[in-house]
Copies of this chain bind each other. A is one copy, B any other.
Amino acid sequence: MLVGSVCVSKSSSWGGEEQWAQRARLAVQRLPVQLTVKLSLAESVPYLESPLSPLEFHREWVCPNRPCIIRNAFDHWPALKKWTLPYLREVMGSKAVSVAVTPNGYADAVYQDRFVMPEERHIPFSSFLDIVEKKVTLPGVFYVQKQCSNLIEEFPELLGDVEPDIPWMSETLGKKPDAVNFWLGESGAVTSLHKDHYENLYCVISGEKHFLLHPPSDRPFIPYEFYLPATYHISENGSFQVVDKEAVDKVPWIPVDPLNPDLKRYPEYAQAKPLHCIVKAGEMLYLPSLWFHHVQQSHGCIAVNYWYDMEYDLKYSYYQLLDSLSEAVKLV
C-alpha cells in the first residue's frame, strides 16, 4: 500500500516549482492517499514542576494543544492526605451512588459489532467499596465513572477536600469548568480510545493512571466505524447480556484496541504514534481537547478531573478537515 504524505517543515521557504508540483502530485496520485501532518511533538509528555502564569500556560500549552504533567498543582488539597478508602467510606457511608458495571472492564467500547455501554447501578457507596476492597466478590468489573459532574452531583461531601475549579486554568481560559468528575475503580476497568471536546485537567489523588495518547493529527491512522448502541445487563444467573437500545441511530466509535491492535483489519493504525504517560498521586495531567486517550489505572485509584469546554476555533476546523479527509480517502 503506497502512502502519500505531506510533511510540514518549520521553514517557510516555498521550494521550487518542480518540488511543489511533485508534492501536489504525491498528495493526490498515490492511493490510498493519507495526508499526514507532523506537528512538533515531544517523544514523551513533558513535566512542569509547578503551574505557570495563565498567559504562559495559554501560549505554550493550550494554544498549541500540547499535553503536559504538572507537579505541585494541588499540594494544598486536604484530599491528598485524607482520601483513603476508609476515609471515603466514613464520609459517604451507604449513600447511593452511580456505578458502572461490565463483564470485562470495558465500559463504552466496541464489543463484537456493538458499541456497548455499562450497566449503571445505584448502590450504596459502602457496598461499592466492599467490592473494590475485595471484601465481597460479585461478577463483573466495577467503576465509579459517571462523569456528568458527579463530584458535585453525587459526592458533594467530598468537595471541601478539593476545589470547585482550578483557579489558574479558569483565568487562563476565561471560564469555569463545565464539569468536575470523581473517579474510583478496579484495575480491570479500562477506558477505550476516544476523544473529548474538553480541555481536561486530570488530578490523581491516590494510586496511578496510565494514559495512552494520540495527538489529533493521528486521525488519518485511527479507524472509526459505526455501531448499533447496546448496554450490558446482568441476568438472574449472573451472566452479562448485551441488550440493544431501541430505535437509536448508529454511533461512531474507534474499534482498535491500542493494547492489542488488530493490524490485519486496521493496518493504518501501525502508523499512529502513541505517547504513554503515568500520572501519579499528586500529579495533574493537562489533556488537551481533541487528543485521543485510552486509560488504565491501579486498583482503587482515586482521581478528580476538570472539564473546560474547548474553543471551537482554528484547531477545531483543522481537525474537522483532517476528519473529513480521513473518511474521504476510504472511498477512493
* A residues at B contact (CB < 8 Å): 6, 8, 10, 12, 14, 16-17, 20-21, 23-25, 27-29, 35, 37, 39-40, 54-56, 58-59, 62-65, 171-174, 197, 217, 226, 249-252, 311-318, 320-322, 324-325, 327-332
Contacts known (A17-B250, A197-B12, A251-B14); A27 close to B328, Cβ less than 8 A: yes
Q: What is the chain B residue whose CB lies nearest that of A252?
A: B14
Pull 20 A–B residue pairs with CB atoms less than 8 Å apart, ordered by A. Answer: A6-B324, A8-B316, A8-B317, A8-B320, A12-B312, A14-B251, A16-B249, A21-B331, A23-B324, A24-B324, A24-B327, A24-B330, A28-B329, A28-B331, A28-B332, A40-B312, A59-B173, A318-B318, A321-B321, A321-B322
Q: What is the chain B residue whose CB lies nearest that of A329?
A: B28
Contacts known (A318-B317, A328-B24); A172 close to B16, Cβ less than 8 A: no
A242 CA / B329 CA spacing, docked (Å): 46
User: Are A64 and B24 in contact, with the CB atoms below 8 A?
Assistant: no
A56 CA / B171 CA spacing, docked (Å): 10
A226 CA / B17 CA spacing, docked (Å): 7
Q: Which residues of B contact A24 (CB under 8 A)?
A: 324, 327-328, 330-331
Contacts known (A197-B12, A324-B6); A314 close to B317, Cβ less than 8 A: no
User: Are A321 and B37 in contact, with the CB atoms below 8 A?
Assistant: yes
Identify whether the interface residues of A are mostly helix, strand, loop, or mixed: helix
User: Are A320 and B6 in contact, with the CB atoms below 8 A?
Assistant: yes
Q: Which residues of B contact A174 (CB under 8 A)?
A: 56, 59
Q: What is the chain B residue whose CB lies nearest that of A309?
A: B12
Q: Which residues of B contact A10 (CB under 8 A)?
A: 312
A250 CA / B28 CA spacing, docked (Å): 23
Q: Which residues of B contact A64 (CB under 8 A)?
A: 311, 313-314
What is the total number of copies of this protein in its complex?
2
User: Are B320 and A172 in contact, with the CB atoms below 8 A?
Assistant: no
A40 CA / B317 CA spacing, docked (Å): 10
Please pick, from B37, B58, B250, the residue contacting A320 in the complex, using a CB distance under 8 A. Answer: B37
User: Are B55 and A171 in contact, with the CB atoms below 8 A?
Assistant: yes
User: Are A331 and B55 in contact, with the CB atoms below 8 A?
Assistant: no
Q: Which residues of B contact A40 (CB under 8 A)?
A: 312-313
A17 CA / B58 CA spacing, docked (Å): 36
Q: Which residues of B contact A325 (CB under 8 A)?
A: 27, 35
Task: Give min CB distance, A169 to chain B, whole Å.
Answer: 12
Task: Give min CB distance, A64 to chain B, whole Å.
Answer: 5
Output the residue of A14, A25, A197 with the most chain B CB within 10 A.
A14
Q: Which residues of B contact A329 (CB under 8 A)?
A: 28
User: Are A318 and B314 in contact, with the CB atoms below 8 A?
Assistant: yes
Top 5 closest A-B pairs, CB basis? A318-B318, A63-B63, A24-B327, A24-B328, A27-B328
Please pick, from B29, B39, B312, B313, the residue contacting A317 in the complex, using a CB distance under 8 A. Answer: B39
Task: Give min CB distance, A36 to chain B, whole Å.
Answer: 10
Q: Which residues of B contact A217 (CB under 8 A)?
A: 317
Task: Give min CB distance, A326 to chain B, whole Å.
Answer: 9
Please pick, from B63, B65, B249, the residue contacting A58 in the complex, using a CB distance under 8 A. Answer: B63
